[in-house]
Structure 1
Amino acid sequence: MWKWMPLAAGPLPAAASASTSPASPRASSLCLACCALLLATSSVLGGCPGGTVPSPEPTRVQEGANCSWSLDRHARSYNHLEGDVRWRRLYSATKFFLRMDKTGKVDGTRRKNCINSVMEIRSVSVGVVAIKSVNTGLYLAMSKKGKLFGSEEYNHNCKFKERIEENGYNTYASLRWKQKGRQMFVSLNGRGTPRRGHKTRRKHLSAHFLPMLIS
């Protein structure tokens, strides 16, 4: 009598043997050639099929442009840059124009076209200015006691901190001198007479000036 054997058990050793058999030299050479062709193609296309991945260079350019724009805006935010020169008439909130005569006297005048009221305002550092009479050539200065006078020479007494107040007027405080820790300001009272620095405050209208364009 015939004895039947399972068919599934027979082919397994042959399959296992085929999978573990070494590849022929011709097959290995063909595989290496294919790999070399793929590498060459990817290098020509920029490392990706079809070259669809965008280059990172435009992103860096854009970031650089934004950075440059931020720096320019930061620089433009400073209204008083060193070397800036303006010709103005300083009109006080008490309705006087600040003036200096040839003797060095400082006071106020209501005359709109007074030649001694034309001032050259020069920025010597950020937020610090020197104020010079165009006609007399004298510099506005403040003494240790807070008295205003015209100085022939430019020195530390001639430096003032310029600040734009909330009402749109400017204040000018002595950079060098203070009175008991308080700043002393250029100021004209209701009669056009300069007030002593130790009696002035930032909030006083007599210390507020509007730089007016020369017409």
Structure 2
Amino acid sequence: MCKWTRTTPGLYYDLTSAGSALPGLPLQSYPFPLVCLSVLFLACSALGGCPPAQGHDPLQALAQGTNCSWTLERHARSYNHLEGDVRLRRLYSANKFFLCIDKTGKVDGTRRKNYADSLMEIRSVSVGVVAIKSVSTGLYLAMSKKGTLFGSVRYNPSCKFKERIEENGYNTYASLRWRHKGRQMFVSLNGRGKPRRGHKARRRHPSTHFLPMLPT
């Protein structure tokens, strides 16, 4: 480590490594810029290693105010571990209905807790975006340009929904593809368990709030 001491003649520093010490060297005997660069280089090495890359002079880089990015290539943060994550859940709305998709592609709500068509496979397709598929019918939850919910035989961009955890602990699901006058359109079940048009639903409405429940 680098230890600075003050003596009568002036400032000295000692460098100690592997139990051996170099004799104290007077600070005045070295050009001030070189001493500063040396200290900066030692500090940078101690903080995690900025070893010189090929074709780069560390002292020159420090003199130019260059950071250590030439040794650690910066990559966009990867969330690949989230993609493909699959959860089996029943989406229970704040209006006390389970979202379901029947074999004809009709989206509805049911109060039956163990209804087969309400068991959903929620798959993460990208960060914060999911695809929802009925396990029993194999149909994907989809939203049309007009905000109508339906079951799609094939997975397509209309089947992508932004999943967001709200402050009350419930989730909301907004169409990734479609908007109405610039506003998000949400998956929603009204007080009778019927799907609402996406453009009529708002994030704060209880009809858009769903609790992913583990199957029993």
Q: TM-score range by the shorter chain?
A: 0.5 to 0.7
* 2:113 alignment partner AA: K
User: Structure 1 residues 146 and 61 mapped into 2: Cα distance closer, same or farther (>3 Å)?
Assistant: same
Alpha-carbon displacement from aligned partner over 1:100-139 (angstroms, at most 9, x marks no partner):
0000000000000001100000000000000000110000
- Gaps of at least 5 residues in structure 1 are 1-41, 50-54, 64-73
Q: For the residues of structure 1 that align with 2:214 and 2:189, how far apart are their CA atoms?
A: 20
Q: For the residues of structure 2 that align with 1:113 and 1:120, how far apart are their CA atoms?
A: 15
* Runs of at least 4 residues off by over 2 Å: 42-49, 55-63
- Gaps of at least 5 residues in structure 2 are 1-15, 24-41, 51-76
Alpha-carbon displacement from aligned partner over 1:66-97 (angstroms, at most 9, x marks no partner):
xxxxxxxx98xx7x921111000000000000
The residue aligned with 1:91 is 92
Cα distance, 1:168 vs structure 2: 0.3
> 3-state DSSP class of the match of 1:198?
helix
User: Structure 1 residues 48 and 126 mapped into 2: Cα distance closer, same or farther (>3 Å)?
Assistant: same
User: Structure 1 residues 111 and 57 mapped into 2: Cα distance closer, same or farther (>3 Å)?
Assistant: same
Cα distance, 1:60 vs structure 2: 4.3
Are 2:146 and 1:132 aligned? Answer: no
Corresponding residue pairs, total: 156
> 3-state DSSP class of the match of 1:111?
coil
The structure that has the greater radius of gyration is 1
The residue aligned with 1:48 is 22
Are 2:215 and 1:214 aligned? Answer: yes
The residue aligned with 2:122 is 121
The percentage of aligned residue pairs carrying the same residue is 74
* Structure holding more helix per residue: 1
User: Structure 1 residues 43 and 145 mapped into 2: Cα distance closer, same or farther (>3 Å)?
Assistant: closer
Q: CA RMSD in A?
A: 2.8
The residue aligned with 1:151 is 152
* Structure holding more strand per residue: 2
